[in-house]
Amino acid sequence: MSNSAQAQNAEAEAASTYVEPESLFAQCTAAIGTRANVRLLRWDFLDDRARRLALATTDAERAALALPRRQDLERDHPAAFYSLDELQALPRGNKAFAGGPLPLVAVSYCWRSAAHPDPFGQALVRFAAAVRHAQRHRAQRHNALLPKAVAVFFDWCSLDQKDAQGNRTDQERASFQGALASMQLWYAHQLTTVFMMTDPATDPASDTLVDSLSYGARGWPTFESRCAMLGKRTSQHAWPLLVDVAALGCDAGRTEAGQAPRYPPLRPDEFHALLATKRFTNGADAELVANLYTATAREVIGGASMLKFGGLQWGDAELVELCAWLPHCQKLRTLSLVGNRIGDGGIRALAAVAASGGLQQMRDLNIGSNVISDRGGRALLKAIEAGHFPAMTKLETHGNRDLSELMRTRLREALRALDRERAARARVRTSSGIN
pLDDT value at residue 336: 95
The pLDDT, as a whole number, for residue 99 is 82
pLDDT in tens, 345-402: 999 999 999 999 999 999 999 999 999 999 999 999 999 999 999 999 999 999 999 9
pTM for this model (two decimals)? 0.88
Output phi, psi for 214, to 5 deg. Answer: -75, 155
Query: What pLDDT does 360 receive?
Result: 95
Mean pLDDT of the chain: 89
Question: CA separation (Å) from 213 to 113, 180, 201, 376, 420?
Answer: 10, 22, 12, 45, 60
Region 309-334: what's the mean pLDDT?
Answer: 94
Q: How confident is the model at residue 11 (pLDDT cuts 50, 70, 90)?
A: very low
The residue extents of the domains of the chain are 15-303, 306-432
pLDDT of residue 141: 65
Per-residue model confidence (pLDDT) at position 258: 59
Q: What's the confidence (pLDDT) of residue 211?
A: 46
Q: Is the pLDDT of residue 70 over 70?
A: yes
Domain spanning 306-432, CATH class: alpha beta
Q: Give the pLDDT score at 282.
A: 77
What are the tens digits of pLDDT across the range 151-181? 999 999 999 999 999 999 999 999 999 999 9
